[in-house]
Chain A
Amino acid sequence: MRGRAFVLGDDVNTGYITPAQYVGRPMDEITDHLFEPIRPDLAASIDRGDFVVAGSNFGAGSSRETAPAALHHAGVGAVIAESFARIFYRNCIAVGLHPIRCPAVTDAVADGDVLDVQPERRRIENRTSGETIDCQPLPSALREICAAGGLLAYYEDHPEGIVLENGTGSDRTK
């Protein structure tokens, strides 16, 4: 995937990604207001295939799945953050939006930089700066769910449910 990066700071919570007053509205309306409390100009700039890049604890706050679902709906190719809040992280997997942990990403990517991202690789390429950035792709145990297009799509293909062998895809990274 190749796209532009939009870079945000630390602790961007789900209320900033999709403000509560639009939750329950049609998805097109929700995506018009992405990041409104912190970057009101951003929603209009995001094109299909762009990436959201953020600092630590991205997606903190409520269990609002609308947040990753709206980013997915807006065509965001992947969210790349130094770290994720856990409910947001699992909601990304549930809706089929790739969450990529990348501990130094905000140092290496500026707003508008063009990135090459392959969700299963351990590196992201910044085409604008020429830099290569180390990242932590989804553990194998979860990649299949995300790649299937999310948990319900996965379930359609696997009516026996999620099968994880204990320890499979074990992931001790923070």
Chain B
Amino acid sequence: MGQTVAEKVLANRSGSSGVSAGEYVVCGVDVAMVQDVHAPAVFNRLDERGISELWDPSKVVVVFDHVAPSHGVDDADTKARVRRLLESYGVEHFYDVGTGISHLVLPERGHVRPGEVVIGTDSHTVSHGVFGAAGTGVGDTDMVYALLTGEVWFRVPETIRIHLTGDLPPHVSSKDVVLSLAANYGLDVARYRAIEFTGPVVEDLSIDDRMTLTNMSIELGAKFGFTPVDERVEEYVRCRTDEPFAAVEADPDVDYETVIEHDVTGLEPQVARPHDVDNVVPVSAVEGVDVDQVFVGTCTNGSYDDLAAVAALLSGNEVAPDTRMIVTPATRAIYQRATRDGLIETLTQAGATVTNATCGPCLGLGMGIIGEGETCFAAQNRNYRGRMGSDESEIYLGSPETAAATAISGHIADPREV
């Protein structure tokens, strides 16, 4: 029987000739990423245990993206201590405040290759499946163990295939697709499983837009989320790394646990209402809901293509009075490219606040916290109660374009009508 992408990567990295779903394996780790919320616990624990050497510092990547820059003395002191520890452990791949959000920084800086095992202390590490890597989130203890041994245990997951067909309508994006998947199949459709996104819709998406799918695989419960490694992906990776790699693809005769055929023809822009990612309705059902803040950014929607989509709608328009709009490019490199191409000028001219690259607003850690009774429309990944600030606030999720239309109107609006 054919092997899935997950089975092939995990077999290869565990030194086995073949594994199948349900088996437990111990895999070598190719990249171990730690972000600043978890770096203090991870590196302090190593230090407290008297560990002076990591398994392989060259495979460790640390990114300060969550609280960036520090906005309190405690965080500043903590970060200073972690910086000293990173130096003593010889961690050279350290991307300090402002470089960007880890899941976009890693591929941008050539740390991710097809067929690799990437673990990170962040649930959205699943994003790297867009490059054919088995990326997944782990906790601090698993990370400490990996930094000591270079290994991680996995249960080989079953795989579901989500085959996307049809024509994506104008102003409807991969974010709308993934929200419609949550709406139709639920937040645990892929729990303990890998997803392989396939089909003509996926093939036509840019790498940025595919990453929105793999990134939000975790919102469907997934352990890994893969999109196909095609020439575009191989070229992207080849331009950024000298290391060899081999694309992994599923065998044609895989017996998937589930195959979901999802036709996107005629899909309306989708909006997740508070406080669950699968509380999804077409935008027409929530049009007119007043918002205090609009936010576009995060590992889900802070890519160049996302900014370009927002700028295209904001061009010549203005953010509504009584509404504040925050746009956060996901990396400094994206910010620079958006500056060169005039997108930042368009956004600021329209009245948006453009921040440095940070995760902050998405999880209430700064640069866009919302207060009691406030409503935010966010092009991000989660709308849990209290996530962006007050437990008595509300978050609606949607695409960058729906966010732009909403910013212009001051209430939730349909991007097809701007």
Query: Chain A interface (Cβ within 8 Å of chain B)?
Result: 11, 13, 15-16, 19-21, 23-24, 36-38, 56-57, 60-65, 68, 83, 85-87, 90-91, 94-95, 139, 141-142, 150-152, 155, 161-164, 166-172, 174
Contact = CB atoms under 8 A, between A and B. Distances in A.
B141 A150 contact: yes
Contact of A166 (B23, B37, B382, B385): B23
A161 B14 CA distance: 14
21 contacts: A13-B384, A15-B386, A19-B386, A20-B364, A24-B40, A24-B74, A24-B78, A57-B188, A63-B138, A65-B38, A83-B188, A86-B221, A90-B138, A91-B138, A142-B24, A142-B153, A152-B141, A166-B23, A167-B23, A170-B23, A170-B24
Contacts of A172: 21-22
B219 to A, nearest CB: 9
Contacts of A91: 138-139, 141-142
A86 to B, nearest CB: 5
Contacts of A68: 139
B384 A16 contact: yes
Interface string B214-232: 0000000101000000000
7 closest Cβ pairs, A-B complex:
A65-B139, A94-B141, A91-B139, A63-B137, A172-B22, A141-B24, A65-B140
B16 A166 contact: yes
Interface stretch (B109-117, B144-152, B166-174, B239-247): B144-152
Contacts of B137: 62-63, 87
Interface residues of B, number: 52
A106 to B, nearest CB: 15
A63 B141 contact: no
Contacts of A169: 24
Contact of A23 (B37, B49, B191): B37
A119 to B, nearest CB: 18
Contact of A38 (B120, B155, B363, B385): B385
B243 to A, nearest CB: 25
Contacts of B149: 155, 161
A10 to B, nearest CB: 9
Contacts of A64: 37, 139
Nearest to A154: B145
A164 B153 contact: yes
Contacts of A162: 26, 151, 153
B122 A62 contact: yes
Given A164-B26, A169-B24, A155 B145 contact: yes
B187 A151 contact: no
Nearest to B144: A152
Contact of B139 (A15, A37, A63): A63
A37 B40 contact: no
Contacts of B155: 139, 171
A62 B123 contact: yes
A55 to B, nearest CB: 11
Contacts of A170: 22-24
A105 B49 CA distance: 39
B139 to A, nearest CB: 3
Contacts of B148: 155
Nearest to A68: B139
A37 B386 contact: yes
A127 B388 CA distance: 41
B25 interface: yes
A122 B209 CA distance: 45
Q: Which of A13, A56, A155 has the most CB of B within 10 A?
A: A13
Interface string B350-372: 00000000000001110000000
A166 B155 CA distance: 10
Given A24-B78, A91-B142, A151-B141, A57 B123 contact: no
A15 B387 contact: yes
B345 interface: no
B158 to A, nearest CB: 8
A87 B387 contact: no
Contacts of A16: 384-385
Contact of A171 (B16, B22, B187, B387): B22
Given A11-B276, A15-B387, A24-B40, A86 B141 contact: no
Contacts of B192: 86, 174
